Each structure stands twice: as C-alpha cells, then as structure tokens.
Structure 1
C-alpha cells in the first residue's frame, strides 16, 4: 500500500548493536545481523516524534557487508559495585537505507486536534535534512549514528544479487499500552516476534499487528491534555 507521508533516509555508523532485550541482562551481548524494527523506529523517534503519531517501518536496505567485531568492555556490575569484564559483539561499518511512514495514534483521542498530516510530514522531512532532533544511535547509546536524506533503492547494496537470506525468528519490538492495536494488547506491555527474511538486500518488515505477540505485564496509559498538566496539544514550531 502506498502512503502519502513516506519518509526515506540513510543512517550510518561505525558500529551497531541490535540485540534481544532478554540477552542484555547478562554480561555478554551479541548483535543480530540486521537491524530490528524497534531499533529503526528508535532512530525515527530521535529524528522526530510526537505522541499524536506512530512510526511504521516499511523496509530497511542493507548497504554494506555484514561484519562483526568483538570488544572487551568493563561495564558497571549490577550488584556489589565496581566493574566487570564482558565481551560485546558489534556490527561494524554499518549503512542502511530506511523507508517508513506514520499513522495516527488512536489511543490518544485527546490529541486528535494535532492530526495534521501535512504539518508532521514536513517537519519530519526537515529534521531528516538536519540530522535529527536528538542524538541518533544504532541499537545502543555507544553506537553513534548519522542521518541524511536519500532515495530508497538508489546506490548499490552489497546484497542486491543475493536472492534471499533467512535470519529465523527475531525480536521485532515492544508494544506499549499507548500504541495498542488490538484487544489483546490493550492496557498491556507486549513483546513481538517475527520471522526475518532479507531479499536482494531489503528487509521488508511486517506491521506490528501481524507479529507473534506475548503479553509481558499490565500497563496503564498516561493521558495528555489540559486536565493532566501542561500537555495540551499545540502546533509544532516551525524550524
């Protein structure tokens, strides 16, 4: 389906760490070979985010060869203080093209007066041209990244002549209560899984509602609006 509010950009960085949150509790961290939906959504939210909308990631194009590098890290211990020694395995020399669009967040009826598609799309496009509103990183905070506009599909991908690579069942993302899309996800925090496939270098993500989902815990939505402090919807500033 073609959307009118599509954005396209390239994000690149020296390193990336895309991992399942479950594996981040222990000392060792190992990256997935391709970006997760949630990580790319985080990049877009660093570029431009409002609670009025939800970013939907359509596709990611892997431009560079998938390579990994292991580093010895001294993280702070969870208990007892001091430092520990761990090995983190990162992706290196990362470059991705991204295509995405946004939908309105129906869980936020108090912000319906802010649903101006033309305004939000224009601001998002300008923020891509300026490298984002907040710091951009690939998976984890130490993996600084940079954003610039591009036309999705232009340029040569290392994998454009590779018919298909299957990465098995992967972590897709987390659905919070304020982005619920069904009765099963309403008032809950839910984790999503999917079967990841790359064809000719392109990972076409399925939308959250088509994923395998598992409820994690109950969660309430914190409303915005005049009766809940200074969160009344206002027109975004012109930048």
Structure 2
C-alpha cells in the first residue's frame, strides 16, 4: 500500500486500558493493543494535521503475559497516597503496519499535501526511533521502535489459530477526522489469526457512541502551522551545519 510504514515496537511493560471505564482508579490492561494506542504510537513517529494515519495490522510477537503491581497514586480528593493494583502486559513486542491518507476535512491545508515528502520524512523518523517519546498505552510504559519488514521473524502465535477477544475499544473519532461536529468513541470485535489482527477502518466500526459535540481546530500558515516544505528546508539547513 502507498504511504506505508512498518516497524516493531517493544518495551518492558504495556498497559492498554479502556479509556471509557478506567476512571475508577485501578487499571487492567487489554490482552492486545487497541487501534487508538497504536495510532498514538504512529503519530509519535511522525504527524501533521494534513495527514491521517490508519493502522492496518498488528502482529503479536511475544506470548501474552500479565503482571500485577501495587501502585501508590495520589488520591483525587487530596494529596495523600492511595493503594491501587495495576495489571500490566509483560515484555510486549508488536510489529505494526500503517499508512497515511490526506485529511479531506482540511482544505485549509491543501497546499501541504506533498505525498512524497511526507512519506520520506515518516520513513526517516521510523528508522531513527520516532520524533517523540513512545509509550505503550500509558506514560509509565516506555516503548522503543525499530524499522522492520512486517511478517519477518518468528511470532509466538504463528500457528496458534484464531483467538477472539470479544467487544473491545477501537478508538476515538475526533471532529477533524469525522463529521467535524462530534467527538465519538468506537467499539469492535477483534479476532487474532495466527498472531495477526487486521483492524477495521474507523468508518467501518459498527458500534459508535457520541461523547459530546465539538468543533475542529483551524490552522493558518505562518500563525500556528509550518508546512512540510519549510520544515524540510529547516531540517536540511540544520544537518548542513
């Protein structure tokens, strides 16, 4: 597929929670990463409001194992500490395949739709480990990425068959990626086939719930947005120095 990047992301722990139900304090991880968590990782590698990233597939490399930790977070009511139990995934590693498309809800950024440059920058950023810090679900779970070819190497689930995970959080639809008026949450029913989960596109999810009405942010060249041509030129000058 055009505009595609492939990489492996791994870390010591991961915590992929359902954001619609985790407010209670104690956190319990999903068995596999959500679409939204992987999209956040891809956007940490490289993102511009001109483009929208779509996660195509994830391949679970290591066995799914959990570990419970006692955590002492600060209480909501005061500055005292509380005791909570968080359930993490241990030694997670995932191969990810994703691609970008231009955001048609952004006609104000049409001048920045340079497919070749965006793709090249994304590939370079992937090889260098991303532009921003990588997290596996939550802030305390530091992650690391490396460029790879999707499907290479051996996975624990290569010949495991099908595993269904039941209803699961898919992701959020923000106003600038949806109808420009609503902030929505999506659910779906994932099935892992020999370690690989093929994600539905956001618009194809059957279960969608509106959280609240919202409006998209507008960008203006030279005020709160730098087009990729100027950014590329600045990066080139810094390299020459």
Shorter-chain TM-score: what band?
over 0.9
Q: TM-score when scaled to structure 1?
A: 0.94
Segments of 5+ residues of structure 1 without an aligned counterpart are none
**Residues 97-145 of structure 1, C-alpha deviation per residue, up to 9 Å, x if partnerless?**
0000001111111101111111011000000110001000100010000
1:219 aligns with 2:214: yes
Aligned mate of 1:109, from 83, 94, 107: 107
Decide whether aligned partners of structure 1 residues 221 and 186 sit closer, same or farther in structure 2, where only a CA change above 3 A counts.
closer
- The answer as to whether partners of 2:117 and 2:228 remain within 8 angstroms in 1 is no
Q: TM-score when scaled to structure 2?
A: 0.93
Report the equivalent of 2:121.
123
Report the equivalent of 1:200.
194
Measured after TM superposition, the shift of residue 234 of structure 1 is: 4.7
- The answer as to whether partners of 1:225 and 1:233 remain within 8 angstroms in 2 is no
Q: CA RMSD in A?
A: 1.3
Report the equivalent of 1:167.
165
Report the equivalent of 2:59.
61
Distance in 1 (CA, whole Å) between partners of 2:62 and 2:224 is: 45
- The answer as to whether partners of 2:8 and 2:147 remain within 8 angstroms in 1 is yes
Distance in 2 (CA, whole Å) between partners of 1:232 and 1:125 is: 20
**Residues 24-46 of structure 1, C-alpha deviation per residue, up to 9 Å, x if partnerless?**
21111000000000000010111
Measured after TM superposition, the shift of residue 230 of structure 1 is: 3.5
Taking the TM superposition and a 5 Å limit, the aligned residue runs for 1:1-239 are 3-180=1-178, 185-211=179-205, 212-226=207-221, 229-231=223-225, 233-235=227-229, 236-237=231-232, 238=235
